Amino acid sequence: MQDLNRQIRIKGAIYGIVLGVIILALNLISYFIMVKLNTPKWVTAFSQPLFTNVLPIVAAALICFRLRKKIGGYWTLRQASSGIFAMFLTSYLIFFFGMLLYSKVIDPAMALNIENKIESVKAAIRKDQGVSQQHIDEETKGLRKDFNERENTSVLRSVQSFGIVIVLVFLASLIFAALFKNDPPAYVAPNKKQ
């Protein structure tokens, strides 16, 4: 039993690498659609939630099914939560360091590009809604202030945010474990020869 629990965590971490790469790729696709391509504002507005929220959840669900099948099709809530926690934590680390590498080495202007695109799309949407230019300018100043606060984070705040991420990953793994658990049958009837 102990060996099975260890195997579940190891396979969860391996599948977490796959999930992390998928989530990283989806976020980069979202970035390119939002910033690099000349897309309509509604595509820009809907691509970000689709590629960064909906599709990663679908991918995580499919990989949870695959993980459960790989270990024999049955796992208790505790086994499911430990395996899924290992998967989610590994995927978060892959995603975090992948985005950090991309934004610091490959495209250092990534944050500025995203900020400018969000400001322009939000201003265009608000203008279409008939909002005054003065109100749009105030909202834009608020967005810039939020972006500046996020960029100027201290080490203590980074450690706190990592602690919050660990708690959220644990909660998400419990939710997924409750959804995908499949307890082994309590009793298997013996074969009767006729």
Give the residue with greater pLDDT, 191 vs 122: 122
CA 93, CA 116: separation in Å to the nearest integer? 27
Residue 75 φ/ψ, nearest 5 degrees: -160, 145
103-159, pLDDT tens digit by residue?
888 888 777 777 777 777 777 767 777 767 777 677 777 767 776 666 666 566 767
Cβ neighbours around 6 below 10 Å, total: 11
CA 137, CA 119: separation in Å to the nearest integer? 10
Res. 170: pLDDT tops 90: yes
Res. 193: pLDDT tops 70: no
Q: What confidence category does residue 194 fall into, taking pLDDT thresholds of 50, 70 and 90?
A: very low
Give the residue with greater pLDDT, 43 vs 181: 181
Cβ neighbours around 36 below 10 Å, total: 11
CA 20, CA 36: separation in Å to the nearest integer? 23
- The DSSP code sequence of the chain is -HHHHHHHHHHHHHHHHHHHHHHHHHHHHHHIIIIIS---HHHHHHHHHIIIIIHHHHHHHHHHHHHHHHTTS-B-HHHHHHHHHHHHHHHHHHHHHHHHHIIIII-TTHHHHHHHHHHHHHHHHHHHTT--HHHHHHHHHHHHHHHHHHHS--HHHHHHHHHHHHHHHHHHHHHHHHHH-BPPPS--PPPPP-
CA 141, CA 121: separation in Å to the nearest integer? 14
Those residues with Cβ within 8 angstroms of residue 155's Cβ, 6 or more apart along the chain or in another chain: none
55-101, pLDDT tens digit by residue?
999 999 999 999 988 888 888 888 889 999 999 999 999 999 998 88
CA 113, CA 31: separation in Å to the nearest integer? 9
Res. 186: pLDDT tops 80: no
Q: Is 191 left (phi over 0), alpha (psi -120 to 50) or beta?
A: beta
pTM of this structure: 0.77
Give residue 86's pLDDT. Answer: 94
* Two tokens, residue 167: 């708690």
Please compute the mean of the pLDDT values over residues 45-58 and round it to a whole number: 86
